[in-house]
């Protein structure tokens, strides 16, 4: 592309009042999503053995809307006793009614749940956005459609398991304890529950403390779908409730998605027991841009890779590596594009970047911004206005960073990108692989041969080529190194929930 048609030249303001000066002049009229139809109760109980019951100690905690800091609802805190009751219900269901149901019948339940999710998709999207801060456009167009897709996909496998493992006899594992994080609340639930049920297991699931709402709506769907009591149990609570699940003696498998730190605690806890486990942990994905890449497309890819869901994405591309010849151009275009991102009310359909999920995460990300500056990196933040109330952080990038910097090595889990350069493919591979993580990465180039070289040399579970953040239930997902153990999704996801 010639310089004359570059994006920079297109929206460079020609006068102070130019409509093309996004930052100061061009504003979209707000387009708020109507949230009034989404029913929210004042209080949510535990879902155990097909019923909504009060927690044994009668304790509740608050779930906030991170965009307004207002309280949405009280959520039950499950104790050891409650977790034990949930496990007993799951065991009883596993040994009773559920095990006598054929794969074909299990599929019917899964299809029913998938269709009910579709029917209630707008309500679920609104709640996901209110509780977690992600833009409604993302929860509406990405999260919830993928949730339904996962249930449809695994419904299709439920009566065909012997074809997934030809010549062998797959059997369910038993009672599965599942613990999920706050970045994709309902989607992580779907990744865990859909394959578990398809393979004939029963489940005790704990959502993350800050985002329990859609899991409790899902419990209503499960009840309305007529699933036998005890097959799915949902216990809300904080880390301690998660630990009660991990340490419960009658759980056969732990499926965990969350931070590497908690993943290590869980791995120690299950060591020496006969519990199976899969761990989906943190990441620090590299985005490698070669000088022959379609630059504008690559810039869009970078924006998607790091600012999607405020950067609260385990597979986020948080480290940009750009070949020296195009570095200036890519950084300039990237900064221009940053200025066009709309940060604010997650329920507004124009919003590109919503609220940071919680005060705690807001503080963590801000801490890393300080660390970056202290390490000597140059910080660039978009000049957009952000709401006074709520947890918002401007899209940020750091240039002039070193491979050893903490902001390059540690997962920030926010809208923060570091930018490095490279000269040769081998240098890019070395830098890309030089973190403790290995979850996802991306490469942009015109040459298929370079894609193959990078794809086979970068130690990450996923390598996207000329795109990023593409998800599909048929595709396995998981990490190398400290990014985790095991795979979810696709046929690999069935193997994680069966004994062969």
List, by residue number, the catalytic residues.
280, 314
**68 contributes a contact to Mg ion by CB under 5 A:** no
Q: Where are the alpha helices (DSSP H) in 253-323?
A: 260-270, 295-307
Selection from ligand NAP, Mg ion, none that 243 binds (CB < 5 to 8 A by kind) is ligand NAP
Q: Return the residues of window 296-325 that contact Mg ion according to CB under 5 A.
A: none
Alpha carbons 293 and 119: distance in angstroms, whole number: 41
Least distance from C-beta 418 to Mg ion, angstroms? 28
Q: Rg (Cα) of the chain, in Å, rounded?
A: 23
Q: Tell me if residue 205 falls in helix, strand or coil.
A: strand
Q: How far is CA 488 from CA 197, 216, 294, in A?
A: 14, 23, 32
Nearer to ligand NAP, 365 or 443 (CB): 365
**209 contributes a contact to Mg ion by CB under 5 A:** no
Six-digit token string for 184: 């994709």
Nearer to ligand NAP, 150 or 337 (CB): 150
Least distance from C-beta 28 to Mg ion, angstroms? 26
Selection from ligand NAP, Mg ion, none that 282 binds (CB < 5 to 8 A by kind) is ligand NAP
DSSP class of residue 34 equals P
List residues near ligand NAP by CB under 6 A.
179-183, 206, 208-209, 238-239, 242-243, 246, 257-259, 262, 265-266, 280-283, 314, 411, 413, 439, 479, 484
Least distance from C-beta 391 to Mg ion, angstroms? 11
Nearer to ligand NAP, 75 or 158 (CB): 75
Six-digit token string for 496: 């994680």
Q: How far is CA 220 from CA 1, 49, 116, 155, 234, in A?
A: 53, 13, 10, 19, 11
Closest CA relative to residue 237, chosen from 420, 85, 98, 55:
55
Closest CA relative to residue 183, chosen from 161, 167, 207, 206:
207
Least distance from C-beta 193 to ligand NAP, angstroms? 15
Segment interacting with Mg ion (CB under 5 A) among 210-218, 236-244, 336-344, 401-409? 210-218
Nearer to ligand NAP, 30 or 474 (CB): 474
471 exposure class (CB count in 10 Å sphere: 0-12, 13-18, 19+): middle
User: In the set 77, 82, 128, 131, which binds Mg ion (CB under 5 A)?
Assistant: 131
Task: State the residue for tokens 């999704």.
Answer: 489
231 close to 197: Cβ distance less than 8 angstroms: yes
Least distance from C-beta 209 to ligand NAP, angstroms? 3
Pairing between β-strand 285-289 and β-strand 416-422 as defined by DSSP bridges: unpaired
Closest CA relative to residue 22, chosen from 343, 328, 414:
343
Segment interacting with Mg ion (CB under 5 A) among 130-138, 240-248, 315-323, 462-470? 130-138
User: In the set 49, 183, 202, 210, which binds Mg ion (CB under 5 A)?
Assistant: 210
Q: Which residue is nearest to ligand NAP (CB)?
A: 242
**63 contributes a contact to Mg ion by CB under 5 A:** yes
Selection from Mg ion, ligand NAP, none that 63 binds (CB < 5 to 8 A by kind) is Mg ion
Alpha carbons 48 and 397: distance in angstroms, whole number: 45
Selection from ligand NAP, Mg ion, none that 262 binds (CB < 5 to 8 A by kind) is ligand NAP
Closest CA relative to residue 133, chosen from 296, 336, 311, 385:
311
Selection from ligand NAP, Mg ion, none that 131 binds (CB < 5 to 8 A by kind) is Mg ion
């Amino acid at each position: 592309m010639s310089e004359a048609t570059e994006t920079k030249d297109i929206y460079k303001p020609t006068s102070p009042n130019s409509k093309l000066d996004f930052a100061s002049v061009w504003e979209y009229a707000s387009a708020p999503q109507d949230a009034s139809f989404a029913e929210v109760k004042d209080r949510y109980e535990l879902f155990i053995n097909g019923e909504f019951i009060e927690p044994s100690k009668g304790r509740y905690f608050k779930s906030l809307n991170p965009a307004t800091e207002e309280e949405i609802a009280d959520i039950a805190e499950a104790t050891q006793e409650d977790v034990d009751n949930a496990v007993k219900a799951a065991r009883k269901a596993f040994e009773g009614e559920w095990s006598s149901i054929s794969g074909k019948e299990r599929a019917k339940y899964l299809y029913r749940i998938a269709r009910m999710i579709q029917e209630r998709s707008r309500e679920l999207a609104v709640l996901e956005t209110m509780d977690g801060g992600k833009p409604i456009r993302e929860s509406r167009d990405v999260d919830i459609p993928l949730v339904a897709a996962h249930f449809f996909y695994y419904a299709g496998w439920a009566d065909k398991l012997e074809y997934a493992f030809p010549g062998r006899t797959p059997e369910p594992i038993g009672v599965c304890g599942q613990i999920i994080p706050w970045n994709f609340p309902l989607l992580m639930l779907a990744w865990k529950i859909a394959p578990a049920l398809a393979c004939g297991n029963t489940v005790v699931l704990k959502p993350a403390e800050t985002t329990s709402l859609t899991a409790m709506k899902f419990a209503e769907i499960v009840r309305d779908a007529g699933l036998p009591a005890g097959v799915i149990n949902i216990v809300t609570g904080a880390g301690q409730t998660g630990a009660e699940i991990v340490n419960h003696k009658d759980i056969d498998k732990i499926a965990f998605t969350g931070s590497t730190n908690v993943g290590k605690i869980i791995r120690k806890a299950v060591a020496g027991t006969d519990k199976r486990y899969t761990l989906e942990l943190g990441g620090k994905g590299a985005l490698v841009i070669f000088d022959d890449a379609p630059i504008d497309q690559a810039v869009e890819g970078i924006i998607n890779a790091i600012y999607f869901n405020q950067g609260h994405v385990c597979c986020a591309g948080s480290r940009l590596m750009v070949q020296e010849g195009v570095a200036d151009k890519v950084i300039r275009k990237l900064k221009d594009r940053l200025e066009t991102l709309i940060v604010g009310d997650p329920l507004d359909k124009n919003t590109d970047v919503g609220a940071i999920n919680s005060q705690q995460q807001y503080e963590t990300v801000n801490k890393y911004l300080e660390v970056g500056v202290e390490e000597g990196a140059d910080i660039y933040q978009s000049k957009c206005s952000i709401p006074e109330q709520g947890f918002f952080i401007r899209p940020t990038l750091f240039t002039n960073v070193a491979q050893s910097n903490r902001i390059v090595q540690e997962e920030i889990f926010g809208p923060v990108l570091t930018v490095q350069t490279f000269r040769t493919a081998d240098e890019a591979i070395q830098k890309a692989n030089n973190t403790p993580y290995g979850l996802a990465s991306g490469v942009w180039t015109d040459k298929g041969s370079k894609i193959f070289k990078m794809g086979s040399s970068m130690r990450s579970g996923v390598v996207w080529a000329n795109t990023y953040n593409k998800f599909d239930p048929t595709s396995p997902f998981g990490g190398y190194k400290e990014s985790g153990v095991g795979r979810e999704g696709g046929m690999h996801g069935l193997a994680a929930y069966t004994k062969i």
